[in-house]
């Protein structure tokens, strides 16, 4: 039971990051390699707000999301917008360059070692039966679920969401019908980065520290999660995240820690080979192959 | 010589440059048939470890290590490349990342080759050897790009269905290209290991797969010249930027972003190669290919 809760926690974090990937990928067919580092940066913004400005946690949350949103905007501006449509690989590599810059600047400011969060963030533990749940875990779950629910609402019920879906389905037709696709793309980058920022602060809370090297490992795993769920499919990313989080925690619990990553990657390879559209892949994912 | 001290790169830089050129070509030949592999460091690792076992554990001379690397490169290339024929584009990229990660974990736990601690004892790579190998592959690629098979690769990349309609076998072409790329990466691994003396699993992480991608995109996906150019520039650049050690990675990143924004087809694209060739031949610009390559024109000119 304890493991299930840990798995949920880890899984919801993966889901948040993977949904960010998915949002951009579903829209542009673009792998955003900088996403993992935007996620990492969220943790550091939170650290800055908590440690240097000594503001409460919820301000740190908003700060991380806004800060990462801005970062996402800049990312779109420098890596995606100037590149012509015919070149598929170029923007993806541009994001790779961007991520180098983000990591480097972060380590310039905070050093290359993980930095601990202040102890002022109180951790209260609850005992339910024989399961120990900390307030951080509750917070993580609540925030993750809240964000995913609001994103779902945004995509399905609002004007912006409709435009997003239209551009994802067929950018040209959407443009003909009067959708401002440039603005939509910016919105996708900002939302996806803000989600990554939120996930970044959640991870920092969970680990009790902000680590500049984390973007790569978590970014990669979230990438795997996205592919397992179905590229560009938001619910797929959610389900994929939970499955991977669970699988990882359970292999650590019942097997050995060294092989938890093997499980993730072999699952990825197997999915790609036997059901390339992903677990919850739809026609749209099938076409994109 | 004194005067050249500051300008000529050190021996280690030259060797890394050769290894990087091989890695870039290994990636290039895969992408030249439309296969985006982000797992070439896995082949490099296999070549490095396998050859290390041959020279250090079995105490055989270096040529056997190359032989072994060719075999392991071809076999692993076939094992990865065959199922990978089913998937393409970004999916293939992810599957190859998966292969790379799994192999990384394998080497981290494989006691025989030192697991996490690393594996040492390999020696024998010289600058001459590296550039000998590079030259052999250069001749090979030069011959290839003017051969039937080279044209078949191009046809498969631009349109697989049309290529098969014209009687080509895309599966065969892609498979062969993937295997050649894997062998090249594996040989790069041999040279790397026998120069470094010490190798550890983290030397062959994902970044080692991504560098070739950077080389090739900076240089240009269209020609193998571009791939080599990218490898040379991106290896030397950090060396000459050493005076600004503090900021060189930032600059590196900014450079990549800039090149991608301004000249997404890379610097040495096909039109550039044709233009340079014409300079040497002294022929008129009328032999230049039709303006289909023109989009690289006005916006790209200023930067190059």
| 3-state SS, one letter per residue, for A174-243 | HHHCCCCHHHHHHHHHHHHHHHHHHHHHHHHHHHCEECCCHHHHHHHHHHHHHHHHCCCCHHHHHHHHHH
Contact A101, B250 (CB under 8 A): yes
Beta bridge partners of A58: none
Mean pLDDT of chain A: 80
Q: Which residues of B touch A84 (CB under 8 A)?
A: 264, 295
Say if A93 is an interface residue toward chain B (CB within 8 Å).
Answer: yes
A104 domain-assigned: yes
Size of interface A-B (CB pairs under 8 A): 121
Radius of gyration of chain A (CA): 19
Element (DSSP H or E) covering residue B201: none
Judged by a CB distance cut-off of 8 A, whether residue A223 touches chain B is: yes
Distance of CA A115 to the CA centre of its chain: 21
**A144 has pLDDT over 70:** yes
Does A99 contact chain B (CB < 8 Å)? Answer: yes
3-state secondary structure of A126: strand
Range of the domain at A152: 2-116+126-215
Predicted confidence at residue B294, as pLDDT, reads: 40
Cβ–Cβ under 8 Å, residues A78 and B253: no
The alpha-carbon radius of gyration of chain B (Å, integer) is 20
The residue written with tokens 């440059």 in the block is B17
Is residue A141 included in any domain, yes or no? yes
Are A51 and A241 spatial neighbours (Cβ–Cβ below 8 Å)? no
- On the question of pLDDT at A48 being above 80, the answer is yes
The H-or-E segment that residue A132 falls in is strand A131-134
Asked, for residue A28, whether it belongs to a domain, the answer is yes
CB atoms within 10 A of CB B131: 16
Cα end-to-end distance, chain B, whole Å: 31
Mean pLDDT computed over A222-251: 82
State the pLDDT confidence band at A124, using cuts at 50, 70 and 90.
low
Is A152 inside any structural domain?
Answer: yes
Nearest Cα of chain A lies from the Cα of B210 at a distance, in angstroms, of 9
Question: What rounded mean pLDDT belongs to chain B?
Answer: 80
pLDDT in tens, B15-65: 889 999 999 999 999 888 888 888 899 999 999 999 988 888 888 888 888
Percent of chain A with pLDDT over 90: 3
Is A286 inside a domain boundary?
no
Chain A CB contacts of B93 below 8 Å:
31
Task: Look up the pTM and report it.
Answer: 0.81
Check residue A114 and report its DSSP letter.
Answer: -
Whole-angstrom Cα distance, residue A150 to residue A191? 11
Q: Residue B51: CB partners within 8 Å, gap ≥ 6?
A: B65, B66, B68, B69, B122, B189, B190, B193, B194
In which residue ranges of chain B is pLDDT below 50?
A: 1-4, 285-304
Closest alpha carbon to A98 in A116, A80, A86, A114:
A80
Residue A32, helix vs strand vs coil: coil
Whether the CB-CB separation of B145 and B21 falls below 8 Å is answered with no
pLDDT at residue A75 tops 80:
yes
- On whether any CB of chain B is under 8 Å from the CB of A79, the answer is yes
Can you tell me the distance from the alpha carbon of A72 to that of A196, in angstroms, rounded to the nearest whole number? 10
Q: Please give the pLDDT value at position B290.
A: 45
- The pLDDT of residue B292: 44
Asked if residue A69 belongs to a domain, the reply is: yes
Based on the structure, what is the number of domains in chain A?
1
Would strands A115-116 and A209-210 be described as parallel, antiparallel, or unpaired?
A: antiparallel
Mean pLDDT of A220-243: 81
Region of B266 on the Ramachandran plot (φ > 0 left; ψ -120 to 50 alpha; else beta):
left
Report DSSP state, residue A78.
I
Report residue A84 as tokens.
């012509």
In eight-state DSSP terms, residue B259 is H
Tokens of B247: 């900021």
In a domain, A70, yes or no: yes
DSSP state of B10: P
Percent of chain A at pLDDT > 70 equals 87
Angle at B235 between CA A223 and CA A100, to 5 degrees: 35
Q: Does A220 reach chain B within 8 Å, measured CB to CB?
A: yes
Asked, for residue A136, whether it belongs to a domain, the answer is: yes
List the beta bridge partners of residue A134.
A125
ipTM, two decimals, is 0.77
Which residues of chain B lie closer than 8 angstroms to A272, CB-CB?
A: 87, 91, 94-95, 98
Instruction: Mark yes or no for CB contact B98/A100 under 8 Å.
Output: no
């Amino acid at each position: 039971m304890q493991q299930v809760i840990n798995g949920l926690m880890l899984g919801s974090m993966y889901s948040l990051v993977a949904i960010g990937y998915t949002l951009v990928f579903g829209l542009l067919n673009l792998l955003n390699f900088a996403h993992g580092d935007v996620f990492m940066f969220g943790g550091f913004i939170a650290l800055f707000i908590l440690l240097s400005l000594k503001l409460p946690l919820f301000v740190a949350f908003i700060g991380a999301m806004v800060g990462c949103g801005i970062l996402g905007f800049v990312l779109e501006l420098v890596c995606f917008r100037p590149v012509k449509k015919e070149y598929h690989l170029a923007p993806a590599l541009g994001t790779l360059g961007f991520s180098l810059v983000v990591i480097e600047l972060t380590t310039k400011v905070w050093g290359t070692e993980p930095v601990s969060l202040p102890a002022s963030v109180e951790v209260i533990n609850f005992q339910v039966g024989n399961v120990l749940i900390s307030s951080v875990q509750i917070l993580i779950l609540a925030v993750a679920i809240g964000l995913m629910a609001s994103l779902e609402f945004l995509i399905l019920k609002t004007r912006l969401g409709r435009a997003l879906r239209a551009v994802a389905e067929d950018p040209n037709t959407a443009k003909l019908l009067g959708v401002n696709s440039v603005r939509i793309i910016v919105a996708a980058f900002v939302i996806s980065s803000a989600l990554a920022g939120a996930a970044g602060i959640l991870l920092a809370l969970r680990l009790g520290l902000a680590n500049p090297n984390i973007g790569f490992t978590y970014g990669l795993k979230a990438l795997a999660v996205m592919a397992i769920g179905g590229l560009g499919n938001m619910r797929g990313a959610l389900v994929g995240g939970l499955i991977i989080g669970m699988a990882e925690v359970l292999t650590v619990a019942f097997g050995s820690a060294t092989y938890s990553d093997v499980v993730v990657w072999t699952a990825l390879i197997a999915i790609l080979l036997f059901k390339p559209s992903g677990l919850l892949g739809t026609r749209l994912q099938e076409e994109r192959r | 010589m004194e005067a050249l001290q500051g300008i000529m790169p050190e021996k280690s830089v030259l060797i890394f440059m050769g290894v990087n050129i091989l890695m870039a070509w290994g990636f290039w030949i895969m992408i030249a048939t439309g296969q985006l592999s982000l797992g070439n460091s896995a082949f490099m690792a296999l070549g490095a470890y396998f050859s290390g076992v041959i020279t250090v554990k079995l105490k055989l001379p270096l040529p056997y290590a190359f032989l072994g690397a060719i075999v392991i490169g071809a076999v692993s290339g076939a094992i990865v490349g065959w199922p990978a024929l089913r998937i393409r584009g970004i999916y293939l990229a992810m599957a190859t990342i998966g292969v790379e990660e799994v192999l990384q974990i394998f080497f981290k736990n494989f006691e025989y080759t030192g697991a996490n601690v690393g594996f040492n004892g390999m020696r024998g790579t010289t600058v001459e050897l590296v550039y000998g190998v590079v030259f052999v592959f250069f001749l090979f690629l030069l011959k290839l790009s003017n051969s039937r098979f080279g044209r078949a690769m191009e046809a498969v990349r631009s349109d697989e269905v049309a290529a098969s309609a014209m009687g080509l076998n895309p599966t065969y072409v892609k498979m062969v290209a993937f295997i050649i790329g894997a062998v090249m990466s594996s040989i790069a691994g041999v040279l790397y290991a026998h120069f470094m003396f010490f190798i550890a699993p983290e030397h062959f992480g994902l970044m080692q797969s991504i560098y070739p991608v950077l080389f090739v995109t900076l240089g240009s996906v269209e020609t193998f010249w571009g791939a080599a150019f990218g490898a040379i520039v991106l290896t030397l650049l950090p060396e000459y930027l050493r005076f600004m050690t503090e900021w060189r990675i930032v600059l590196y990143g900014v450079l990549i972003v800039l090149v991608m924004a301004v000249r997404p087809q890379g610097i040495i694209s096909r039109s550039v190669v044709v233009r340079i060739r014409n300079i040497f031949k002294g022929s008129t610009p009328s032999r230049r290919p039709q303006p289909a390559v023109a989009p690289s024109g006005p916006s790209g000119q200023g930067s190059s």
